Amino acid sequence: MKPVTEKGVSQLKLTISYIAKLAGVSKATVSRVLNGTGYVSEETRKKILEIVKKYDYTPDSKAVSLSKKRTYTVGLVLPSTSGPFYGEVLRGVEEVLSQNRYFTLLMVLDSGKHISKARERYVAALKEKRVDGAIIFDPTLNPEQLKKLKIHSLNLPIVFLLKDFHDLGFDSIMVDNRSASADLTRHLVKVHGYKKFAFVKGPKESEDSEERFRGFMGVLKESGLNVDDVLVFSSDFTYEGGRRIFQEIRPHLRSLEAIYCANDEMALGVIEELKGLNVRPGKDIAVVGFDDAFWAQHIDPPLTTVHQPMYECGKIAADRVLNRIENPDTFKNPVKILLKAELVVRNSCGC
């Protein structure tokens, strides 16, 4: 083999071996500099980095993965990509992972008839070690189902979003739904003096919906209102579901002062149906939601709601899973991180 000279080097054939020859050092020394591990003299380090910069050297990701037995990929399981805030979770996760030169493998549940098969697919990806860790946002997964999936035995860093599984050995990033819902209800009761409510829950499997309902009912009780007078309905967290459930609410409209929907999409469906009857949301009756979807401030009337920190959830979850991947001996005990949601007062509540 002919000796390598700087004149003959191109980006296409520049490897750790060639860098070592150009710098007059061993391949192990070059690897230590590129990985930031072990001792290398400052003079040698600078020489190697100058060569790397001059020829725009980029490590072969496949070779790096093989040498470290990593994929440099983190799985992200989302319920859907059509909801208003799933994109915020993805944005937060991707921002952290890309900064650390990791890739995101997106897996979508599209919750419905085939939820069990969708779970089998993401569990298979974990078992086959296609990822180094995972962030799982699976709203209807319960502890018994989680145990049956046997994810814990895989010994992979996994963080759950909006599900409290830290007692089962998993990091859990949560939002304080109950307190935020209580803040919203106090605004309706204390500021506006409303006493006659309808509450629209989400799917029965949704713990988030139940926590919002508990926060709502707690404030009614502390305010001395009769909770038996509350009309409770259930839908599916969708715009269409809001429109459908309104047909059940409609016969009771004259007896209501406020409709609390457990998410913004259902609230939007209710608002559209009210307008169709020439009933003015925010004037004739209050309508509020939960989530603070990106469009909530732009509809007519602007929606009073609760801002969920989904972008922050994504960032924190990505930080946590990377810390577990990179420092497995440091981060041993599972943690539960509880984030605060904020009341956002606009006009649909009567303000």
* Statement: residue 48 has pLDDT above 80: yes
- Does 322 fall in a domain? yes
- Does 349 fall in a domain? no
Tokens at 217, concatenated: 């009912």
**Rounded mean pLDDT, 38-64:** 77
- Regarding whether 143 and 28 lie in a shared domain, the answer is no
Question: From start to end of 213-341, where are the E strands?
Answer: 231-234, 258-261, 286-288, 305-307, 336-339
CATH of the domain at 109: 3.40.50.2300
- Regarding whether 134 and 51 lie in a shared domain, the answer is no
Tokens at 287, concatenated: 């309508």
Cβ neighbours of residue 210 closer than 8 Å, sequence gap 6 or more: 201
Q: How far is CA 99 from the centre of its chain?
A: 18
Chain mean pLDDT for the chain: 88
Give the per-residue pLDDT at 16.
83
Taking CA atoms, 205 is separated from 139, 141, 146, 210, 214, in Å, by: 8, 8, 14, 9, 15
Euclidean distance between the first and final Cα of the chain, in Å?
A: 80
Question: From start to end of the chain, where are the E strands?
Answer: 73-78, 103-108, 133-136, 158-161, 171-175, 197-201, 231-234, 258-261, 286-288, 305-307, 336-339, 342-344
- Does 65 fall in a domain? no
What is the total count of domains within the chain?
A: 3
CB 266 within 8 A of CB 242: yes
pTM of the entire structure? 0.76
Q: How confident is the model at residue 11 (pLDDT cuts 50, 70, 90)?
A: very low
- Regarding whether 318 and 217 lie in a shared domain, the answer is no
Question: From start to end of 130-284, where are the E strands?
Answer: 133-136, 158-161, 171-175, 197-201, 231-234, 258-261
Q: What angle do CA 185, 92, 340 make, to 5 degrees?
A: 25
* Statement: residue 333 has pLDDT above 50: yes
Domain around 126: 71-175+310-339
CB 181 within 8 A of CB 216: yes
- Does 346 fall in a domain? no
Q: Which residue has the tokens 């020829």?
A: 55
- Does 348 fall in a domain? no
* Statement: residue 10 has pLDDT above 50: no
CA nearest 262: which of 231, 305, 220, 205?
305
- Regarding whether 286 and 195 lie in a shared domain, the answer is yes
Q: What angle do CA 84, 86, 125 make, to 5 degrees?
A: 150
- Regarding whether 332 and 289 lie in a shared domain, the answer is no
Which domain-ending residue is among 21, 37, 59?
59
- Regarding whether 195 and 234 lie in a shared domain, the answer is yes
Cβ neighbours of residue 76 closer than 8 Å, sequence gap 6 or more: 89, 90, 93, 104, 105, 106, 107, 134, 135, 137
**Rounded mean pLDDT, 279-300:** 96
- Regarding whether 113 and 38 lie in a shared domain, the answer is no
Burial class of residue 247 in the structure, from the number of CB atoms within 10 Å of its CB (0-12 exposed, 13-18 middle, 19+ buried): exposed
- Residues 328 and 350: their CA atoms lie apart, in Å, by 52
Q: How confident is the model at residue 152 (pLDDT cuts 50, 70, 90)?
A: confident
CATH of the domain at 20: 1.10.260.40
Give the per-residue pLDDT at 39.
80
Give the per-residue pLDDT at 60.
58
- Residues 293 and 299: their CA atoms lie apart, in Å, by 11
- Regarding whether 192 and 230 lie in a shared domain, the answer is yes
- Does 109 fall in a domain? yes
- Regarding whether 182 and 155 lie in a shared domain, the answer is no
**Rounded mean pLDDT, 243-266:** 97
Range scoring the smallest mean pLDDT among 48-57, 59-68, 261-270: 59-68
- Regarding whether 188 and 135 lie in a shared domain, the answer is no
- Regarding whether 50 and 95 lie in a shared domain, the answer is no
Q: Which residue has the tokens 């801002």?
A: 307
Give the per-residue pLDDT at 3.
42
- Does 333 fall in a domain? yes
Q: How confident is the model at residue 80 (pLDDT cuts 50, 70, 90)?
A: confident
* Statement: residue 101 has pLDDT above 80: yes
For 198-253, write each residue's pLDDT tens digit. 999 998 888 899 999 999 999 999 999 999 999 999 999 999 999 999 999 999 99
Tokens at 132, concatenated: 């180094």
- Does 215 fall in a domain? yes
- Regarding whether 303 and 190 lie in a shared domain, the answer is yes
- Residues 23 and 38: their CA atoms lie apart, in Å, by 18
